[in-house]
């Protein structure tokens, strides 16, 4: 059987270790396979965002293991985690994810700059993916000139092209 895409073992996150400590994650175990759709639900304060921050490599656990696509990311340093975020993870938020002084196409091209893709290829990929999400007429608009859903689609375009590289 294929290795799970996400495999989390005994994951713990303790904020403020010591007297005022908060056990936000207390030995969480989870496997997610390629192609699975998973929703994380739970009451306010139950640790969903904390967990998503771990899965997204935005923060590191206090203890436990996290294998992402076969690689142990639980002990990585900041710079290694940024590399993993750029290569392995797609984040789609409805707001606040786009850079406000860049146009839609510039926002979509930005992660490609960090991947070292040349200017011409960047432009082609960005046009294609913005067209795929129905935003060919909004490519030169800035985020504040677009609806929430349109901004979200810019984010989707930015992510979807990465998987086509």
Residues at the interface with ligand ATP (CB under 6 A)? 15-16, 22, 24, 42, 44-50
Q: How far is the CB of 23 from ligand ATP (least distance, A)?
A: 8
Cβ proximity to Mg ion, 53 vs 159, nearer residue: 53
Closest CA to 26 of 56, 72, 62, 73: 62
Q: How far is the CB of 13 from ligand ATP (least distance, A)?
A: 8
Question: Of Mg ion, ligand ATP, none, which one does residue 47 interact with (CB within 5 to 8 Å by kind)?
Answer: ligand ATP
Q: How far is the CB of 112 from ligand ATP (least distance, A)?
A: 31
Closest CA to 122 of 131, 132, 111, 133: 111
Rounded Cα distance, 50 and 59, in Å: 8
Q: What is the pairing mode between strands 22-32 and 6-15?
A: antiparallel
Question: Of Mg ion, ligand ATP, none, which one does residue 114 interact with (CB within 5 to 8 Å by kind)?
Answer: none
Q: What is the pairing mode between strands 63-68 and 22-32?
A: unpaired
Q: How far is the CB of 94 from ligand ATP (least distance, A)?
A: 15
Question: Of ligand ATP, Mg ion, none, which one does residue 79 interact with (CB within 5 to 8 Å by kind)?
Answer: none
Q: What is the DSSP string of 101-165?
A: TS-HHHHHHHHHHHTT--HHHHHHHHHHHHHHTT-TTSTT--GGGS-HHHHHHHHHHHHHHHTT-
Contact between 63 and Mg ion per CB under 5 A: no
Cβ proximity to ligand ATP, 45 vs 70, nearer residue: 45
Region 17-56 residues binding Mg ion, contact defined as CB under 5 A: 49
Cβ proximity to ligand ATP, 50 vs 103, nearer residue: 50
66 by DSSP, 3-state: which?
A: strand
């Amino acid at each position: 059987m294929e290795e799970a895409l996400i495999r989390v073992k005994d994951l713990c996150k303790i904020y403020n270790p010591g007297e005022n400590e908060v056990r936000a994650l207390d030995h969480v175990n989870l496997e997610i396979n390629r192609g699975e759709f998973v929703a994380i639900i739970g009451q306010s304060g139950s640790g969903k965002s904390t967990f998503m921050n771990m899965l997204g490599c935005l923060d590191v656990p206090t203890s436990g293991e996290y294998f992402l696509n076969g690689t142990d990311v639980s002990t990585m340093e900041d710079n290694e985690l940024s590399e993993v975020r750029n290569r392995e993870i797609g984040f789609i938020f409805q707001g606040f994810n786009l850079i406000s002084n860049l146009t839609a196409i510039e926002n979509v091209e930005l992660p490609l700059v960090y991947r070292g893709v040349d200017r011409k290829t960047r432009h082609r990929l960005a046009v294609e993916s913005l067209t795929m999400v129905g935003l060919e007429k909004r490519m030169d608009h800035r985020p504040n000139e677009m609806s929430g859903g349109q901004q979200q689609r810019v984010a989707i375009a930015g992510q979807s092209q990465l998987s086509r590289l």
